[in-house]
Amino acid sequence: MRKLLVIGTGGTISCVNGENGLEPSFPVSELIARINVPCDIQTEQLFNIDSTNMTPRHWEQLARRIRERYDEFDGFVITHGTDTMAYAAASLACLIQNSRKPIVFTGSMLPMTAENSDAPKNLRDAIVFAADERAFGVKLVFSGTVYDGKYVSKSDSSVSTPFPFCETDSGTLEKLDIFLAQESTQKHDGKTRFYEHLSDDVFLVKLIPGQRLYVPENAKAVILESYGAGGVPDYLLGEVAELTNKGVYVIIATQCAYGGTRLYEYEVGRYAAKVCPLLETGKMTIEYAAAKARWALAHSNGYDEFKKMFTTEVDGL
């Protein structure tokens, strides 16, 4: 029988109605007690907070705990609030790379105790997936769907939606029942790598037309969320060049959900890249780009090393 560790961090799945609205309360052990699962499960309550209050420190602690107990279990399930779950999954994908064991995030749009809650199904599905001997890597299981943890975003805040997440065209989305029915699937290959830290010195600046560039003094990397295929407005070129001259790494992203950046397709991108060194996110989500930049900044020494780490798929280093 497969042995899993289910780690509770809070979120809607563990919420009850308090004086000021929904607040995390139920421990993960009580969540597990409400469902039937076909495997040996241990639980651990690492946090019990609203995911809005999550920070890189929480995800570092989560990654360290999984590393400490990695050899004890066949897989891991993490209950987490949906608001920052995509950031959490992307961060864990950077901190625990090429995992030969499944590390599965799940949660719910309604509390476990609510009428017609999606929590029992999501938690049960996550455990069923994590207990499958073919599963590996950082994944997100929600509404009967398995998402690549690196390429998912929360796209709907409504509690009535059954599918609050979307995945970019770089990800690998799969229905859980189809995965379970397959005779075989992709096999894990390579050594698992663990990392300790995420930098706090990465900042996101979302452009609106005519906006100037305001960046904190401690910024070491800036993700510039531009338009379309990506580019730098002419009126911002001097400010971007000033940043790069000071040693700040500038990464061009897009506000579009699909298609990614193609910095050299238009003059506004190609010329900007000639004026100053720019990186681009390609088809990364903002969540993954932020996590990857934080990870690369924390573990690199100089621009060339940062560039290599940021532009290479984390499972392919």
| pLDDT for 189 beyond 80 | no
Cα(117)–Cα(120) distance, rounded to whole angstroms? 7
Mean pLDDT, residues 142-150: 93
pLDDT interval class at 72 (50, 70, 90) = very high
Which whole number is the average pLDDT over 218-246? 96
Most confident of 146-150, 152-156, 305-309: 305-309
Mean pLDDT over 160-168 rounds to 76
Is 135's pLDDT higher than 90?
A: yes
> What is the rounded average pLDDT for all residues in the chain?
93
Residue 188 has pLDDT above 80, yes or no: no
Name the most confidently modeled range: 12-26, 34-48, 293-307.
293-307
How far is Cα 11 from Cα 54, in angstroms, rounded to an integer? 10
The verdict on domain 202-316 having CATH code 1.10.10.10 is no
Specify the pLDDT at position 183.
65
Predicted pLDDT at 257: 87
Tell me the pLDDT tens digit for each residue of 240-262.
999 999 999 999 999 998 899 99
Grade residue 175 by pLDDT with cuts at 50, 70 and 90. confident
Q: Does 186 have pLDDT greater than 80?
A: no
Residues 98-126: tens digit of each pLDDT: 999 999 999 999 999 999 999 999 999 99
- Bridge partners (DSSP) of residue 278 are 250
Residues 170 and 283 sit within 8 Å (Cβ to Cβ): yes
pLDDT of residue 256: 92
3-194 and 202-316 share one CATH topology?
yes
171 pLDDT tier (thresholds 50, 70, 90): low
- Distances in whole angstroms, Cα of residue 313 to Cα of each of 78, 130, 265, 309, 317: 23, 23, 22, 8, 7
Report CA torsion sign: 64, 69, 70, 75. negative
Residue 317: pLDDT above 60? no
Whether the pLDDT of residue 32 is over 90: the answer is: yes
Within 13 Å and on the Cβ side, how many CA atoms surround 51?
A: 27
Which active-site residues does the annotation give?
Answer: 12
- Out of 3.40.50.450, 3.40.50.1820, 3.40.50.1170, 3.30.230.10, the CATH code matching 3-194 is 3.40.50.1170
pLDDT value at 23 more than 90: no
Out of 17-26, 204-213, 284-293, pick the least confident: 17-26
| Cβ(80)–Cβ(107) below 8 Å | yes
- pLDDT winner (highest mean) among 144-153, 185-194, 288-297: 288-297
The pLDDT value recorded for residue 123 is: 97
**Parallel, antiparallel, or unpaired for β 165-167 and 152-154?**
antiparallel
Question: With contact defined as beta carbons under 8 Å apart, do 112 and 34 qualify?
Answer: yes
Give the start-to-end residue ranges of the domains of the chain.
3-194, 202-316
| Cα–Cα distance, 212 to 89 (Å, whole number) | 32
Owner of token pair 């609050």: 164
Phi, psi of 109 (to 5 degrees): -90, -20
CB atoms inside a 10 Å sphere around CB 135: 23
Residue 235's Cα: distance from chain center in Å?
33
Res 78: pLDDT: 98
